[in-house]
Amino acid sequence: MKVPMVIRRLRWKLGKRCTLLFVLFWTVCWVLVATLFLQVHRSVFSERCTDEKSRRILAGLCHDYQVGMLMGDLCEDLCVAGKLVYQSCLYYERGKKVLQATWHGQPIVLKSKKEAFSSFQPLDLLDEEVEGSKDFPEEELLLIVAIEVKNALGLEISNSTLGPLWSGRRGPRWKVQVASMWSLLQQEEYIYFSLLQDFSRHVLQVLGSCGHFYAVEYLAAGHPRHRTLFPLEEAAGIRLMSDQGQAKAINNIALSFLDMVNHFDNDFSHRLHLCDIKPENFAIRSDFTVVAIDVDMAFFEPKMRDILEQNCTGDEDCNFFDCFSKCDLRINKCGAQRVNNNLQVICDKIFRHWFPSNFRSSAITLQLQEQLQKAVHECADPGIPETPHHQRVSPNSFSELYRLLQATQRELQKSDD
């Protein structure tokens, strides 16, 4: 009678041990699969930003310049004269390369959507045999450029507006010049900066190019982990800023954000929508003017409508980064009209960090601080509680914020007198 009991106990112990081994095996497999997935995920969506890789990229650019594949007004300084010198890698993102350099001793930023010149689609027109390269059909080229710009911006562009993108000056290596220009025209951000820099102080200035890389001014960029979101001392060129100085600087930056919103909404032929609003996509000049430094997710109204008008089963399907639309369940289609706007997202992602604020100054009355806090909250959440992002900020919200920030500015200035 005791033998079966022993056997049952042995079976129970073996079964328990097998169960533990199975659980352990399953856990190890899960960890291995998760680790592999994370490694694949990182390799697909991000790339390590290193000096070695960045120097190799620029060396490849200079090699292409020296063998006559590309050209640009910065190539000689970068590849021969040593007046444009690489400093550090800022970031790589979805193929985009952003590097810091100095040009004649001044900091600049080099950008390209892709690493290699050969990665860009060549212009078919250049492959056609044209008798006498100087008789290249410029009218046809201008038409192609206008079409490319229209595809990038969603706007009809006249030939007279193409000046910043196409000089029309023919040199001895005109085909190489056109090929280099074509690689730049395949980068929407370059088109935005080039066309808008003469009309807006809120976009970066393009300084020149070499092949598919273009240079823009270096400015003090924002960062979400920065206590004030933007490096105020770096922008102002001082070592230490007082609490009062920080309050004044933040107030000036907030006013500049409002000026940028008004400018992008009203000063172009179509409203310019910013669909990726975060501190690191903006920078500040020494006078605390806000500048958009990454406009990969900026769209004029016609293109914005095309992007939003998609199939849907609910409102969440109609959210394109920071640009929201609403799903019409009768036809399962997102509306082409954006239902939030630039100001609402700026209030939510930027102003909320400042107001209510860790940067309150004794020079500002408590009543004014509370009014500003309330205005920012109403700007960020203008709708009913169930659908806070499905109501557009009213013009009164902009006016109220502007009035309160100006009142704050006056009180801060008065305290200095």
| Fold classified for 221-300+342-415 | Transferase(Phosphotransferase); domain 1 (1.10.510)
pLDDT of residue 42: 36
Average of per-residue pLDDT across 333-348:
97
Task: Write the CA distances from 288 to 11, 117, 269, integer angstroms.
Answer: 76, 36, 27
Higher pLDDT, 242 or 3: 242
Q: Is pLDDT at 297 greater than 60 in this prediction?
A: yes
> What is the DSSP secondary-structure string of 10-58?
HHHHHHHHHHHHHHHHHHHHHHHHHHHHHHHHHHHH-----HHHHHHHH
Q: Could you give phi then psi for residue 125, rounded to 5 degrees?
A: -60, -30
Task: For the chain, give every domain's residue range.
Answer: 51-127+134-218, 221-300+342-415
pLDDT at residue 298, rounded to an integer: 97
pTM of the model: 0.84
Residues 217-232, mean pLDDT to the nearest whole number: 95
Query: Is cis: bond before 356, omega within 30 of 0?
Result: yes
* 130: pLDDT strictly greater than 60: no
pLDDT higher for 170 or 343? Answer: 343
- Give the mean model confidence (pLDDT) for residues 46-61: 94
Mean pLDDT lowest for which of 157-161, 167-171, 365-369, 403-407?
167-171
Q: Where are the alpha helices (DSSP H) in 172-275?
A: 174-185, 188-196, 232-236, 243-266
Does residue 85 carry a pLDDT above 70? yes
Please state at what angle helix 395-416 crosses helix 243-266, rounded to 10 degrees: 150
The yes-or-no verdict on residue 87 having pLDDT over 80 is yes
Give the CA dihedral 384, 388, 390, 395, nearest 10 degrees.
Answer: 80
Tell me the per-residue pLDDT of 178-206, one tens digit each, with 9 for 90 and over: 999 999 999 999 999 999 999 999 999 99
